A and B are shown apart, each in its own frame.
Chain A
C-alpha cells in the first residue's frame, strides 16, 4: 500500500479553480518533488495533504486514512521564518516534545541538534543564527517528533544559492539517515532533479499534473552527468521553456 494517496482531488477558492483532478501515490520513504510555476496550487496541495485545508472534492489519505486535520505524525516545514524567535535552539527543537518525559526530551533534542549540525548553538536564539542555520533548526524541530512524513514548502527559497546547495546535500543526508517520506514543493527545476526520486510536474492554474518523471540517478548525483542534464531538459521542455536565457 502506498504511504500517501491523493485521489481525484480538486480545489476551488470561490470561483477560482486552483487544483483539478490530482491523482498521486507516494511510496513509503520516497522523496517526491512537486514542481510548478508560481500560483499553480502546489502549496495548496501540500496544505491539503497536511490537513490544514479541506479539498473541494476528492481525498488525500495517509496509510489509507483520509486526512482531515493536522497531525504531529506529519510535520510541515516552512521557510526558516517558522522557528520561534523567543525560544533557544534547544527549546525550539523541544517544542513538539511536550508529551515526552524530561529524559526522553533531552535525548531527542541532543540527537537532532547534532544531526542538523547545530551542536554548540544549543542556547543561541534564532536571531543569532544565519538563514541556513534557522532552516536546519526548523528541520530539527520537525524531525524531533519522529514524523513519518515531512512536507517542505519551498524551504530553501529565501536562502542564498551557495547555502541552498549545502542545504540540499544536508537534507539528502538526513533523509537517508531517517528514512522519512518527503513531499517537497519547489519551483526550482534544478532543485527537483537534484533531490527527488520522482518529480511531479504541474501546469499553471488550474493546477493539474502534466507528467511524473522518475529521476533514476543514484545519490550523490553528478550535476554534469549526461543523464542529469537529459532529465533536467525533459522538465524544461515539459514546462515549455527552451532552456535558453
Chain B
C-alpha cells in the first residue's frame, strides 16, 4: 500500500463503523443507547464544563504513578530474582501465587489500607504492572546467553562492571518489551481502579455517568477516550522502543 492509503484506509474503516453505529441507532429507535452525534455532544459538554482535560490528566497521573512505582521496584527486584537462584527459589512461589489474582480482587483491601485517597487506585495499577515486569525481568536475566557472562568474567570484569556492561544491556531489549505490555495492562485496570475512592478520572466518568443519570453518551464517550489515550501512549512506547533499539534489533 502507498503511504496515503496507509492512513486513508484505516480512517475509512472508522467512518464505516461510525456510520453503521448511527444506522443501528436509527433503525432500532433506541432512546437509551447514544448515537455518535450524542457522544460527540456529550464530550463537548464535558469540555465546556472544563472537566474533560482534568479527568484525562487525573487518570494519567494515577496510571503513571502506579506504573512508575512498578517499574522502579519491579525491574531490580525481578533481575535480582533472576541472578540469585536461592532468592528465586524462596520468593518465586509467592509471586506465582499472587500473579493470577486479578488486581480488582485487591479493591476491598486497598480501601481498608489506603481509605478514600488517590493511593488506593494507584496501588491497584501498581499491582497490575508489577507482576508482569518482575517476571519478565527475571526471565531476561535467565536468558542472557551464557557466553556473554563467560566473556565478561574472562576479561576480568568485577561484578558491578559486569552488571553495567553486560547484564543491563543484555536484558534491556526483553525488559523494554515487557514495559510496553505492562503499561497496556495498567491502562486496562484504570476503570476498575477509579471505581473506588476517587471522584475524577476517565474510569470515574464512566461509573459516575451510569450511576448518576444514566448518561450513556458519557459512558461511551469515556470508553472512547480511554481507547484513544491508550492508543496514543502505546504509539509513544512503540516509537521509543524503535528509537532505543534501532542499533541492535534482532536479526
Contacts and interface: CB of A to CB of B under 8 A. Distances in A.
Max count, chain A CB within 10 A of own CB: residue among B148, B150, B155, B248: B155
A157 interface: no
Given A81-B145, A84-B169, A98-B161, A76 B154 contact: yes
A96 B156 contact: yes
Nearest to B148: A84
Interface in A41-91: 50, 52, 70-72, 74-76, 78, 81-82, 84-87
B247 interface: yes
B151 interface: yes
Contact of B172 (A74, A86, A96): A86
B148 A72 contact: no
A86 B248 contact: yes
Contacts of B251: 127
Interface residues of B, number: 21
Interface residues of A, number: 23
Contacts of B153: 52, 70
A50 B172 contact: no
B154 A50 contact: yes
Nearest to B247: A125
Given A72-B155, A98-B161, A84 B166 contact: yes
B169 A78 contact: no
A69 to B, nearest CB: 8
A84 to B, nearest CB: 7
Say whether chain B's binding surface is mostly helix, strand, loop, or mixed.
helix
Contacts of A82: 147-148, 151
A231 to B, nearest CB: 32
B248 A125 contact: yes
A96 B157 CA distance: 8
Given A84-B166, A145-B155, A127 B148 contact: no
A28 B154 CA distance: 21
Contacts of A72: 154-156
Interface in B139-155: 145, 147-148, 150-151, 153-155
Contacts of B156: 70-72, 96
A141 to B, nearest CB: 8
Contact of A78 (B151, B165, B166, B247): B151
Contacts of A84: 148, 151, 166, 169-170
Contacts of B172: 86
Given A52-B153, A76-B151, 14 more contacts: A52-B150, A71-B156, A75-B154, A76-B154, A78-B151, A82-B147, A82-B148, A84-B148, A85-B248, A87-B169, A95-B151, A95-B165, A96-B156, A127-B248
What 6 A-B pairs are tightest by C-beta distance, nearest first?
A96-B155, A72-B156, A86-B169, A82-B147, A70-B154, A78-B147
Interface of A: 50, 52, 70-72, 74-76, 78, 81-82, 84-87, 95-96, 98, 125-127, 141, 145
25 contacts: A50-B154, A52-B153, A52-B154, A70-B153, A70-B156, A71-B154, A71-B156, A72-B154, A76-B154, A81-B147, A82-B148, A82-B151, A84-B148, A84-B151, A84-B166, A84-B169, A86-B247, A86-B248, A96-B155, A96-B156, A125-B247, A125-B248, A127-B248, A127-B249, A127-B251
